[in-house]
Amino acid sequence: MPVYSALDCICHIAQEKIPTAGEDSYCYGISEDSVLVAVFDGCGGSGAKKYPVYQEKTGAYMGARAVAGAVLHWFADEPHFLEHGRNSEAIKVAIGRSLTVCKENAGSQGSKIRGSISKEFPTTAAIARCVVGAEGVCAECYWAGDSRVYLLDEDGLAQLTADDLDDLDAFENLSGDGVMTNVISASKAFTLRSRSVGIRKPCILFAATDGCFGYIPSPMEFEGLLLEQLENARSLEEFEEKVHRELAKVAGDDFTLVGVVLGFGTFPNLKRNLGERLQRLRGHYLSAIDPENPESRRQVWNRYRRDYYRYYEK
């Protein structure tokens, strides 16, 4: 079924902390029956090494862009997609080839950074490919690291990917010191994890680097930020601008969000549908958070998390 039957639009929000040196990247694409959105966050700590052949850009900078290009090439070059499970392997092969080229072109150049955390061209990835069928939309998610794929519909925000961090949930990750357990790089083995989700309701499906959500106190407040900007927007373009402005106020890092709006038909329908969700979010969750009492936020999270994780495999 043509993807245009469900696709309303694609949205994109991004900002570099240091102009021309941002270590996030992204890609998106549309084919006859599917749409792709993806983000990549170069790992600045383990990828701090700079390469003269790449105009003194870091491995993190180059890794994020090389992997974004590989994923977009995979999407454009596969007219007949394989099964979901084999797609993961095909994407991983494309990524591996791209990073091999990066490494070969760099040769032995690059500032010397030694240590157990150092990696060649390291980056996270959060990739979503939406396929439109007779029974609705299937979202295929692929990821490595702590960038995320989310879904936002009338039932609220849901995280579709699982952070590759040491046993912390989405709330604890915001204040914890979890170690990333899986990241894409040219020097060490990585796993590209995957999950398929059936979508039966109009939604915004989006991929985001941790600069979008990592400086906001909780997942429910991240949802609130998104819905409140939508409430006050008169167009999708204004919605993007408002979200960008709010994230820029709090983010201490690059931030990148790429999303696809599915099934609402019109912007007024989008506002109406998600506006009802905002009222429930305020009444049931946000109003119960006391900024002076950190424990109140945890208590609200314990109630909120069931719906937030509603697409997780049991």
Asked if 171 and 218 count as a contact pair (C-beta separation under 8 A), the reply is yes
pTM: 0.93
Written as one string, the DSSP assignment of 279-293 is HHHHHHTGGG--TT-
CA 77 → CA 18, 90, 246, distances in Å?
33, 11, 37
Instruction: Average the pLDDT over 146-154 and give the result.
Output: 98
Find, among 283, 263, 258, the residue nearest to 273 by Cα. 263
Question: Tokens 């240091």 map to which residue?
Answer: 18
Q: What's the token pair of residue 270?
A: 């989008």
Share of the chain above pLDDT 90, in %: 75
Q: What's the token pair of residue 107?
A: 């040769």
Query: What are 37-54's pLDDT values in tens digits?
Result: 999 999 977 778 899 899
Query: How far is 39 from 16, CA to CA, in rounded Å?
Result: 14
Tell me what pLDDT residue 177 has.
61
Query: How far is 159 from 284, CA to CA, in rounded Å?
Result: 19
Instruction: Average the pLDDT over 25-44 and give the result.
Output: 94
- For the chain, the domain total comes to 1
Between these two residues, 176 and 81, which has the higher pLDDT value? 176
Q: Quick check: is 55 in a domain? A: yes
Instruction: Average the pLDDT over 85-94 and give the result.
Output: 88
36 has a pLDDT exceeding 80? yes
Tell me what pLDDT residue 314 has.
41
Query: How far is 226 from 158, CA to CA, in rounded Å?
Result: 13
Q: Quick check: is 295 in a domain? A: yes
Tell me what pLDDT residue 5 has.
61
Tell me what pLDDT residue 282 has.
98
CA 230 → CA 72, 181, 223, 226, 274, distances in Å?
29, 35, 11, 6, 8
Q: Is 31 exposed, middle or buried (0-12, 13-18, 19+ CB in 10 A)?
A: middle
148 has a pLDDT exceeding 50? yes
Phi, psi of 157 (to 5 degrees): -80, 140
Q: Quick check: is 242 in a domain? A: yes
Q: Quick check: is 128 in a domain? A: yes
Q: Quick check: is 314 in a domain? A: no
Between these two residues, 179 and 75, which has the higher pLDDT value? 75
The residue type of 242 is K
Provide the 3-class DSSP secondary structure of residue 186: coil
Q: What's the token pair of residue 202?
A: 């109009």
83 has a pLDDT exceeding 60? no
Range in 30-34, 144-148, 231-235 with the lowest mean pLDDT = 30-34
Query: How far is 92 from 70, CA to CA, in rounded Å?
Result: 9
H helices of the chain, in order, are 59-77, 84-106, 172-175, 210-213, 219-231, 236-250, 267-284, 294-308
Q: Quick check: is 313 in a domain? A: no
Of the CA atoms within 13 Å of residue 253, those in its CB half-sphere come to 19
Tell me what pLDDT residue 235 has.
96
- CATH number of the domain that residue 126 is part of: 3.60.40.10
Q: What's the token pair of residue 309?
A: 């994780």
176 has a pLDDT exceeding 90? no
Mean pLDDT score of the chain: 90
Q: What's the token pair of residue 56?
A: 């003194």
Instruction: Average the pLDDT over 158-181 and give the result.
Output: 81
Share of the chain above pLDDT 70, in %: 90
Q: Quick check: is 289 in a domain? A: yes
Helix-, strand-, coil-residue percentages of the chain, each rounded to 5: 40, 25, 35
Full domain range(s) for residue 235: 3-308
